[in-house]
């Protein structure tokens, strides 16, 4: 006891104690700082989740009561008339999206293939252009669609809307396609060519199937993006209260319907609008999550 304390001061021991004390206090300080910072990160997560929950709860609460058989099978009806629905908007959205996809996907993927295989100056410029195109505001695409199609044919139409939506989807598909095709290991390409296959065969039988998960993900994401666009459709498809399958005529779409009907003074129209909002939200969510699940699954299968 006392003899240990009476021992002469050992400079090394003292130094060690000093270092340990400094380390301990530094660790305390750093741990506190770390806890604080991480606490802030948790708070950020909370801040991110709260509006989400608020919005989704609101849309579900206002939209779910609207969902009934009539909602999905009947077109919109004026205020006071029972049995109104959004079938005209569903049909319009589907037709416009399908046309946009049918045109944008082949062009986009082939362009992605081109970019994945080339590195010249033209390819670099094109890649940069596609990048810039992903950032073009949708309203500007809308006014372009109006000038290019509506003005020239003197009529609003589903085609004009599909043109605008396709324009928005195209750069997304190009970039996703290029990323997916570049991800195919070079060795697979070379092996196929060593077997004597032409480039087209290589593309068709090696590159595309291998890149398929990434491609599908990209396409689904592009579709999800196109579904939510309102501004370009406002300027190109005019809207239609009746069921219309013909894309050369004016059509209705879910985002337009939501925009027009949700602030109307009639409760039944407002409810239909929120039902449509819920429908759109669910579809986009299913596409987004589905694309990720599909990518994971296909990726696992490949491996």
Partner 1 sequence: MHITTAIRSKTGRRGASLVALGLAAAALLSACSSSSSSSTTTTTAAPGGTLSANNAAYLAADLKAPGGSLNASGSTFVQPFFTSAFYKYSGLNQALQVNYQGVGSGAGITAFQAGTVAFAASDVPMAAADLAKVPAASGPVIQIPDILGGVTIAYNVPGVSTRLKLDGPTLAGIFDGSITTWNAPQITALNPGVNLPSHAITPEVRADSSGTTYIFSDYLQSANPTTWTLGASKTIAWPSTAVQTPKNSGVAASIQSTPYSIGYVEMSYAIQNKMSYAAVKNSAGVFVVPSPTTVAADADQKIGVTPTSFSIVNEPGAASYPIAGYSWAILLQKQASPTTGAQVVKVLDWTTHTGGGQDLAHSLYYVALPPAVQNQNRTQLLTVTGSNGQALLTK
Partner 2 sequence: MTTVDLPPPARTGRRRSLPDNGYKGMLVVVALLVAALAIWFLIAIVIQAKPAFSTLGVGWIFGKTWNPSHGQYGLLPFILGTIESTAIAVALAFPVGLGTAVALAYLVPDRLRPVLSTMVELLAAVPSVVYGLWGLIVLAPVFASTVEPFLTSVLGWTGLFDGPNRGVGLLLAGVILFIMILPTMVAISRDVLAVVPYEQVEGAMALGATRWQVLRKVVLPAARTGILGAFTLATGRALGETVAVALVIGNSPYIAHSIKSPAATIPSLIVNNFGESTGTELSALFGAGLVLLVIGILVNSAARWLVWSTGNDSAGVGIGR
Q: By CB under 8 A, what part of segment 241-280 binds partner 1?
A: 241-242, 249-250, 260, 263-266
For position 79 contacting partner 1 by CB under 8 A, the verdict is: yes
DSSP for residue 147: I
CB of 49 to partner 2, least distance (A): 6
Q: By CB under 8 A, name the one of 44, 81, 98, 191 that touches partner 2.
A: 44
The answer to whether residue 142 forms part of the interface with partner 1 (CB under 8 A) is no
- Asked if 99 is part of the footprint of partner 2 (rule: CB under 8 A), the reply reads no
Q: How far apart are CA 265 and CA 258, in angstroms?
A: 14
Residue with tokens 């001061």: 9
User: Which of 91, 109, 150, 172 forms a contact with partner 1 (CB under 8 A)?
Assistant: 150
Cα distance between residue 126 and residue 154, in whole Å: 32
- Looking at residue 204, what DSSP letter applies? I
Integer Cα distance of 106 and 170 in angstroms: 10
Return the one option of partner 2, partner 1, none that residue 239 interacts with (CB less than 5 to 8 A, by type): partner 1
> Which spans in 7-137 are helix H?
11-63, 69-73, 87-117, 121-134
- Using CB distances below 5 to 8 A depending on partner kind, what does residue 24 bind out of partner 2, partner 1, none? none
| Residue in 94, 123, 155, 282 binding partner 1, rule: CB under 8 A | 155
Most distant CA pair in the chain: distance in Å? 106
Q: Binding segment for partner 2 among 10-18, 77-85, 111-119, 242-250 (CB under 8 A)?
A: 111-119
Output the six-digit token pair for 103.
């045109």
The contact mask relative to partner 2 for 150-169 (x = CB under 8 A, - = no) is: -----------------x--
73 counts as binding partner 1 under rule CB under 8 A: no
Binding of partner 1 by 80 (CB under 8 A): yes
Among 19, 22, 136, 191, binds partner 2 (CB under 8 A): 136
* Residue 242: how many other CB atoms lie within 10 Å: 12
Rule CB under 8 A: is residue 67 a binding residue for partner 2?
no
* Cα 218 to Cα 113: distance, rounded to the nearest angstrom: 14
| Alpha-helix runs per DSSP H in 118-247 | 121-134, 138-145, 151-153, 158-182, 186-194, 199-202, 208-227, 231-236
Q: To the nearest whole angstrom, how small is the minimum distance from the Cβ of residue 282 to partner 1?
A: 25
223 binds, among partner 2, partner 1, none (CB under 5 to 8 A by kind): none
Residue among 11 and 120 whose Cβ is closer to partner 2: 120
101, 219 in Cβ contact below 8 A?
Answer: yes
| Helix H or strand E encompassing 281 | helix 267-302
Site residues (CB under 8 A) for partner 1?
Answer: 77-81, 150-151, 154-156, 238-242, 249-250, 260, 263-266
């Amino acid at each position: 006891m006392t003899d240990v304390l009476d021992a002469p001061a050992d400079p090394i021991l003292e130094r060690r104690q000093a270092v340990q004390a400094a380390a301990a206090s530094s660790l305390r300080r750093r741990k506190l700082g770390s806890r604080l910072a991480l606490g802030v990160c948790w708070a950020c997560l909370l801040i991110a989740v709260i509006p989400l929950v608020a919005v989704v709860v609101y849309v579900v609460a206002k939209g779910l009561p609207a969902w009934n058989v009539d909602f999905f099978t009947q077109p919109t009806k004026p205020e006071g008339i029972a049995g109104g629905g959004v079938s005209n908007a569903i049909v319009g959205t589907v037709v416009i999206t399908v046309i946009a996809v049918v045109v944008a996907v082949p062009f986009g993927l082939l362009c992605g293939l081109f970019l994945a295989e080339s590195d010249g100056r033209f390819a670099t410029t094109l890649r940069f252009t596609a990048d810039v195109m992903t950032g073009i505001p949708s309203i500007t695409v809308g006014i372009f669609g109006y000038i290019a199609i509506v003005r020239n044919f003197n009529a609003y139409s589903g085609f004009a809307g599909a043109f605008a939506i396709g324009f928005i989807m195209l750069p997304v598909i190009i970039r996703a396609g290029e990323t997916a095709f570049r991800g195919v290991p070079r060795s697979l390409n070379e092996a196929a060519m060593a077997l004597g296959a032409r480039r087209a065969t290589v593309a068709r039988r090696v590159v595309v199937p291998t890149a398929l998960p990434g491609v599908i993900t990209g396409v689904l994401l592009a579709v999800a993006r196109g579904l939510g666009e309102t501004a370009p459709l406002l300027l190109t498809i005019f809207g239609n209260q009746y069921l219309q399958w013909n894309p050369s005529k004016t059509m209705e779409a879910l985002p337009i319907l939501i925009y027009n009907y949700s602030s109307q003074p009639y409760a039944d129209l407002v409810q239909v609008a929120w039902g449509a909002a819920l429908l759109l939200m669910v579809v986009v969510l299913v596409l987004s999550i589905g694309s990720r699940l599909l990518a994971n699954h296909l990726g696992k299968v490949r491996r």
